Amino acid sequence: MADFQREMGDFGLAALAGLPGLVGDVDQHATDVRVLFAQCGTEITEEALRTYRHRYVEAAIGRGWQPGQGFDLETKRIIAVSWLMGEAQAA
């Protein structure tokens, strides 16, 4: 599952270069995740984001979500978390 999540995030990050409209949506999701972490008092670290992404994907699948449906809400959130993971890793 972790490889799939990483691959999906990597694919989405690469797509940002060619889809400018996607950048704004992903940025909004990244902002939402930052706010969520701040409200919970959780530091934004690569490990915390990895755990969040894993739980998010599990919950989405539990609700019936299936990957590969284009850039839907869940996919954008996964891309945003991957983006934040890259920022956390660079810091």
* Other beta carbons less than 10 A from residue 13's beta carbon: 16
Distance CA 91, CA 86 (A): 9
Task: Please answer whether residues 31 and 77 qualify as being in contact, where contact means their C-beta atoms are separated by less than 8 angstroms.
Answer: no
Quick one: pLDDT at residue 74?
93
pTM: 0.85
Quick one: pLDDT at residue 51?
96
Per-residue pLDDT of the chain (91 residues; tens, 9 = 90+): 556 556 766 776 777 777 888 889 999 999 999 999 999 999 999 999 999 999 999 999 999 998 887 889 999 999 999 999 989 988 7
Alpha helix segments (H runs only) across 2-68: 2-16, 20-40, 46-62
